[in-house]
Amino acid sequence: MLIGVPKEIKNHEYRVGLAAAGVHELVRAGHEVVVERDAGRGAGIADEDYAAVGATIASSADEVWSRAEMIVKVKEPVGPEHELMRPGQILFTYLHMAPDRELTEAALSSRVTSLAYETVQLPDRSLPLLAPMSSIAGRLATQVASYHLMAPRGGSGVLMGGIPGTREANVLVIGGGVVGEQAARMARGLHANVTIMDINLARLSQISLTHEGTILTRYNTRLDLEEQVRNADVVIGSVLIPGKKAPKLVTDDMVATMKPGSVLVDVAIDQGGCFENSHPTTHDDPTFRVHEAIYYCVANMPGSVPVTATSGLTNATLPYVLKLANLGWREACRQDSALAKGLHTVDGVLYQSGVAEAHDIESAPLEDALGS
């Protein structure tokens, strides 16, 4: 199979779909790989590095998209990339279609075969292709919150861990998944007071045991959430329902009760955000104010650490890329039920009920796409 790796064009997106090591494995398996010129530069990978492991360097995105049987990316196609998708081509990337009707319609009208990293799901319900970026986003969430708490950034001027004789910041993490636990670990490492809220009691018990009670846990009810938000210096939203829009848990009324200069980081913004007032921001202009609080809603946080992120993403996606290239999308999905859950569109038909619900359009059962 001929696999294409285009340069990412989203604002300050420096990651690339495959590291050189991943390209090498694909070439060793008998496949061809074409990489757009300078696609890996932001991640510290030169064109010469790709050429040295057998890739062909293309002069433009048009060349990559027009030649490749499968496109391997990082972020969802945006703007001019919508016109480059074509019938029968495999697109394997983060898609986040539920909050993005324009992309959904473009994928359907182009008749591309699209599979999303974020909905590939193992039998234990873990998300292997989302996990590495979730780990990064969770850790970054604490870093950016700490930075924006500083008075010159408009924050309250509270140091995360304080110093002896002063109070530490109160950090509330909503959602106890990979993002939430990583954010909480980082905040606790800075000696902040940290609470995770979730509706999964088993998960809360696991977190409490793992961290030996140093991270507090609370069951998420509306009354308790209101109290926790009111007392927080930082709120990190990390709620995820795979394939669906994130629920709006933190309301405008709750934010109005927060201390001036409090910081809210919405890591769920890729799926529409879990705060009522959230809207996507960029690394160029990452924050905005609501009442007297600061919102940080950058939709590609891991793109700011592309060397780490590209390596981690390739490690996770490569086995699936190889499977798709070796077997074709249909047989690969038949043999791997986790990969099959990533299938979004084929030949103008949608196969994700969560996306269908978000946009009030029809979807078909996955079995229809896979056949017997």
Q: Please, what's the b/e burial string for 250-278 (b: 16 or more CB within 10 A of its CB; e: otherwise)?
A: beeebbeebeebbbbbbbbbbbbbbbebb
Q: Does the structure show a pLDDT above 90 at 241?
A: no
What average pLDDT score do residues 228-240 get? 96
pLDDT tens, position by position, 29-85: 999 999 999 999 999 999 999 999 999 999 999 999 999 999 999 999 999 999 999
The amino acid at residue 56 is T
Q: Does the structure show a pLDDT above 90 at 153?
A: yes
Q: What is the pLDDT of residue 356?
A: 95
Contact indicator for 365, 341 with CB cutoff of 8 Å = no
Q: Does the structure show a pLDDT above 90 at 309?
A: yes
Q: Does the structure show a pLDDT above 70 at 212?
A: yes
Residue 372: pLDDT band with limits 50, 70, 90: low
Q: Going by C-beta distance under 8 Å and a sequence separation of 6 or more, which residues neighbour residue 263?
A: 145, 148, 149, 155, 156, 233, 234, 235, 293, 294, 296
CA distance 227 to 220: 11
What average pLDDT score do residues 342-356 get? 96
Q: Does the structure show a pLDDT above 90 at 11?
A: no
Task: Give the β-pairing of 113-116 and 193-198.
Answer: unpaired
Residue 240: pLDDT band with limits 50, 70, 90: confident
* Neighbour tally for 222: CB within 10 Å: 10
Short-list 201, 197, 269, CA closest to 227? 197
Give the catalytic positions in this structure: 96, 270
Short-list 182, 144, 145, 150, CA closest to 263? 145
pLDDT tens, position by position, 245-295: 899 999 999 999 999 999 999 999 988 999 999 999 999 999 999 999 999
Handedness of CA 59, 6, 25, 115 (dihedral sign): negative
- Give me the half-sphere count of Cα atoms (radius 13 Å) on the Cβ side of residue 242: 22
Contact indicator for 68, 2 with CB cutoff of 8 Å = yes
Strand 216-219: give its sheet, edge to edge: 216-219, 193-198, 170-174, 234-237, 263-266, 293-296, 287-290
Average pLDDT, the chain: 96
